[in-house]
Structure 1
């Protein structure tokens, strides 16, 4: 449909009809408008699945690997395929727009949302993000590139002023957005909560001047939820859609501002035009049909993707892959072995249809031929596990699970529902037949039947007033309060908790009832009924883990983080693993030197024992197929394909930037030096360098060929020859970094291009690495400046292993023509 046709539809609308379209209809949908031929459109959180309009265990979603895991694959084709999986999921759930991907950078590993972003590097982020966007949109679903811009940490994220110089903005934080807009054409961009250099992003001139003006973006600029701050400034600016609805600073206030001449109606027309263009793209106009997508179950793709992102950080004496035929017993230990973490906290979370734990995955792979023994050894969380159907029964139906009753303030019933988890979330609705304003109390009931004698721990986590009774006897009664000024997401993922202990005999059945008074002004209602059966004291658990490790041929320790340490809504206080997990590793490796540690975190954590453990595998948050993919990699059925998308620090502090604002501002004083750039500048050795990752074979880099000279403003291609010198087929990621010494401040090295190759044992292959012209440029005085002179291209398998070098001269076109035909190689 032409722009003229879309404008004709805009012209058919009254001012009130047009303005109505610019605010959401509710939390997750946009208004229909029959006059414009527009149906209702639905948006949904991502990026590791498609939630849809409901967010609980009754509406499951395929759970893909986290963005750090996808970026660790350094595989653009894989990112595209995962985008296709998400498009199929969105279509299955009636979703038109996915609120993903997040392409903010890993400025600091203390950033709470680190796992939801791809990389510390703008080039890698842009390449993986563009492929993800193309995959999603190929299925007729809009992708939303977010959060524009400098929303790289969570502390005071609603109001913080990110102070960033223009060169740093252009070369780092705007760079992935620019690449994705130019190369993938996303249909939406989300304006962030924060301010940049004094101006809130929903009103920032960059929306019009840079995003639309320079880059040619023709899609919808959507606000982050509740980020629209004003009627007039936002109305005159580049923001198109204020979310959520039905209330926002626009509505009747914007109508009045237009009628009084304070906001031109033409601005509203342009915004509605952008919305209708989006509607056309997602087939929401006049009953159009979206393109076909493969709706097959995604298990195989998700399993491969998880393994492709695993990074083998250490593998002394080739402990991995394991050789099951020579083993009788494996000890699978750690808090994340039986209850794996597949995703991070906050909006980047879904309820998967199933989760394969490492314990289950290894049992399925090894069968009865290898005995597997297990204990947790240590905790990774202080919060009690949500009550599960294996422990409680709905007293009304007799089914496994819980009964929920919605009551008014006088305890008169309004509605009921059955739930299969003690983790309860309602956002903007208690269901179609339960008026939100009428609910004063939510009551959760379950019959607990003890399977063993001992102390059972019960509790509630949430904010507000709660009463918990066991057989009508109160065990908790009071108000749980959040610290002052918490983020709403923090209230969901690490709320205050109160616990009680109840001693039960095996076979004894008691009724557990939790009542919560609903806050009248709450955006949503969320709390957890926690319940855990008797467990060993932690000291005994640690001893038990060491005992089992000593009895096994190999010990596999799966440890990691929890929502309490990695989530949207707050930044991390420490990079240390929670609880006594470090002690668990030390005890296990002392008992059995054949120890593999699997680190199940979405962001770097400190590994003070890394040099004492022969094999360390970084798994990120790998999605619902975690256990199967881990079994594939540990046994050698698949290669750990990942390379680090982020430098992994060895200690806290320098040179890691702070995420804590001072007097409302966060100064990006490190300028262009983040990640590996900061470590090289400071001369500090990290635990593992950017790009690092071992496979199950070895490689020899033979030679590199590239033009001796190129014209300023031209791309360059390097041909790299390498050989698989190991005993099995493998994949290698060839990485090219540039360096230069001149008067322009530069990082010691910066990533300029990469390419992956596969080869059989003994096979020699060639990798073709494209290096874009932008890699030879810098931002100065409001424009990109071509640099002439000599650059060095460093080529290898990570920033720490760059065996080849090629000298490249960048000059004017005439000078390049004088020397064209010359080449350079180094072996």
Structure 2
């Protein structure tokens, strides 16, 4: 573990935030704490707790139109530019709030270990150091707009085949020095962010139900915010909450936890309290309580954001071999053949979390 990371994380939350969180918790019943964990925000309006509104946001806002489509994260990583990543984070955070969201599901900082990984375009590449530094820049940029980032996926998520039940066998050293390393840097920079737990089993136990992983992310890495499962992840949501899961999501088969599932001794009262506290810390620290999201706007893309996407696309272009000094193109060039899907076509991301449809396109 990087020396000083845990100390930095513990010292990073404003005592004023903690005082406000504890004041709200003092008014909450166990049933209300459970409602917060289950995302039953309608039962909490009298406490001033806002509903979480989530959207995938690795390269822009998935499922929306009239938004900016940024280059996929793998292309962002190819820029090696932390300031550019921070500005992209600010832009996505700005558009997310304008569309009525207060929780961005991104950035994705899974370490790409094989080209067979179906979500590699959503990751920040194969280098844990690079993924951590760019992930930190994206996260702090997003959260500067009074919005929560959810960094994903913790941890050792490296394949899509059988992702819901595969068992990833990994040594402690590789787990901590490779797969968790990007999260260490992000959490050091933004301890009150949130972290999404991965789909697979890790050494025999689902990541969502793995006490050792929760100990790593909260105690070794210093996360003060909440953990949340990937959608439909794991096998037992009560076991997940007992192990350290803070925010309940859609369980196996899309089933939500029923009211009362986490009370009456199902999980220790201290665990219930800790989960609710972490959710509230993340909300207060990132301004969700003091800055409610506006009514969704129809068009949130701007010329500045489109220019930023263009800048990132240029910066991400990598020349592997400059055969026969083909570049730069000669000044007197009259014609140029563009071969492949690069003329009137536009590809933004792949199916899934990185796909963004802005509605209108500027093609190569």
Normalised by the length of structure 1, the TM-score is 0.40
Task: Look up the match of 2:318.
Answer: 311
Instruction: Write the deviation string for residues 666-712 of structure 1: whole angstroms up to 9, x where unpaired.
Output: xxxxxxxxxxxxxxxxxxxxxxxxxxxxxxxxxxxxxxxxxxxxxxx
Residues 105 and 118, structure 1, Cα contact 8 Å, conserved in 2? yes
Residues 34 and 260, structure 2, Cα contact 8 Å, conserved in 1? no
Task: Give the 3-state SS of the residue equivalent to 2:94 in structure 1.
Answer: helix
- Distance in 1 (CA, whole Å) between partners of 2:293 and 2:348 is 34
State yes or no: 1:85 paired with 2:91: yes
State yes or no: 1:251 paired with 2:255: no
Q: How many angstroms does 1:71 deviate by? A: 0.8
Q: How many angstroms does 1:265 deviate by? A: 2.0
Task: Look up the match of 2:277.
Answer: 273
Task: Look up the match of 2:50.
Answer: 39
Instruction: Write the deviation string for residues 781-820 of structure 1: whole angstroms up to 9, x where unpaired.
Output: xxxxxxxxxxxxxxxxxxxxxxxxxxxxxxxxxxxxxxxx
Task: Give the 3-state SS of the residue equivalent to 1:125 in structure 2.
Answer: helix
Of the three residues 201, 214, 220, the one matched with 2:207 is 201
Residues 35 and 43, structure 2, Cα contact 8 Å, conserved in 1? no
Q: How many angstroms does 1:248 deviate by? A: 4.3
State yes or no: 1:104 paired with 2:115: no
State yes or no: 1:128 paired with 2:156: no
- Distance in 2 (CA, whole Å) between partners of 1:252 and 1:40 is 17
Of the three residues 1, 4, 8, the one matched with 2:23 is 8
Residues 103 and 150, structure 2, Cα contact 8 Å, conserved in 1? yes
Task: Look up the match of 1:263.
Answer: 267
Q: How many angstroms does 1:336 deviate by? A: 3.7
State yes or no: 1:236 paired with 2:251: no
Residues 162 and 194, structure 1, Cα contact 8 Å, conserved in 2? yes
Higher strand share: 1
Task: Give the 3-state SS of the residue equivalent to 1:21 in structure 2.
Answer: helix
Residues 228 and 248, structure 1, Cα contact 8 Å, conserved in 2? no
State yes or no: 1:172 paired with 2:183: no
- Distance in 2 (CA, whole Å) between partners of 1:31 and 1:348 is 30
- Distance in 1 (CA, whole Å) between partners of 2:89 and 2:42 is 26
Task: Give the 3-state SS of the residue equivalent to 1:98 in structure 2.
Answer: strand
- Distance in 2 (CA, whole Å) between partners of 1:92 and 1:119 is 29
Matches within 5 A, 1:405-484: none
Task: Look up the match of 1:537.
Answer: none
Residues 23 and 244, structure 1, Cα contact 8 Å, conserved in 2? no
Task: Give the 3-state SS of the residue equivalent to 1:331 in structure 2.
Answer: coil
- Distance in 2 (CA, whole Å) between partners of 1:143 and 1:156 is 27
Distance 1:2 1:192, change over 3 A: same
- Distance in 1 (CA, whole Å) between partners of 2:68 and 2:192 is 23
State yes or no: 1:299 paired with 2:306: yes
Task: Look up the match of 2:74.
Answer: 68
**Rg: which structure is higher?**
1
Residues 32 and 38, structure 1, Cα contact 8 Å, conserved in 2? no
Residues 39 and 51, structure 2, Cα contact 8 Å, conserved in 1? no
Distance 1:319 1:32, change over 3 A: farther
State yes or no: 1:137 paired with 2:143: yes
Q: How many angstroms does 1:288 deviate by? A: 5.9
Task: Give the 3-state SS of the residue equivalent to 2:196 in structure 1.
Answer: strand
Distance 1:64 1:22, change over 3 A: same
Instruction: Write the deviation string for residues 555-605 of structure 1: whole angstroms up to 9, x where unpaired.
Output: xxxxxxxxxxxxxxxxxxxxxxxxxxxxxxxxxxxxxxxxxxxxxxxxxxx
Matches within 5 A, 1:214-225: 214-225=220-231
- Distance in 1 (CA, whole Å) between partners of 2:260 and 2:324 is 69
Q: How many angstroms does 1:174 deviate by? A: 1.0
Distance 1:112 1:218, change over 3 A: same
State yes or no: 1:184 paired with 2:190: yes
Q: How many angstroms does 1:196 deviate by? A: 0.3
Task: Look up the match of 1:789.
Answer: none
State yes or no: 1:160 paired with 2:152: no
Task: Look up the match of 1:18.
Answer: 33
Residues 87 and 139, structure 1, Cα contact 8 Å, conserved in 2? yes
Distance 1:234 1:249, change over 3 A: farther
Task: Look up the match of 1:210.
Answer: 216
Task: Give the 3-state SS of the residue equivalent to 1:312 in structure 2.
Answer: coil
Q: How many angstroms does 1:339 deviate by? A: 1.2
Instruction: Write the deviation string for residues 421-473 of structure 1: whole angstroms up to 9, x where unpaired.
Output: xxxxxxxxxxxxxxxxxxxxxxxxxxxxxxxxxxxxxxxxxxxxxxxxxxxxx
Q: How many angstroms does 1:340 deviate by? A: 2.7
Matches within 5 A, 1:641-656: none
- Distance in 1 (CA, whole Å) between partners of 2:259 and 2:36 is 12
Task: Give the 3-state SS of the residue equivalent to 1:232 in structure 2.
Answer: helix
Distance 1:212 1:31, change over 3 A: farther
Relative contact order: is structure 1 or structure 2 higher (C-alpha 8 Å, sep ≥ 6)? 2
Q: How many angstroms does 1:274 deviate by? A: 1.4
Residues 191 and 221, structure 1, Cα contact 8 Å, conserved in 2? yes
Residues 250 and 256, structure 2, Cα contact 8 Å, conserved in 1? no
Distance 1:281 1:50, change over 3 A: farther
Q: How many angstroms does 1:351 deviate by? A: 1.0
Normalised by the length of structure 2, the TM-score is 0.87
Matches within 5 A, 1:49-68: 49-51=60-62, 55=63, 59-68=65-74
Distance 1:297 1:234, change over 3 A: same
Unaligned runs of 5+ in 1: 359-827
Residues 237 and 248, structure 2, Cα contact 8 Å, conserved in 1? no
- Distance in 2 (CA, whole Å) between partners of 1:31 and 1:129 is 33
- Distance in 1 (CA, whole Å) between partners of 2:341 and 2:237 is 49
Distance 1:7 1:248, change over 3 A: farther
Residues 149 and 191, structure 1, Cα contact 8 Å, conserved in 2? yes
- Distance in 1 (CA, whole Å) between partners of 2:42 and 2:160 is 31
Q: How many angstroms does 1:345 deviate by? A: 1.5
State yes or no: 1:284 paired with 2:299: no
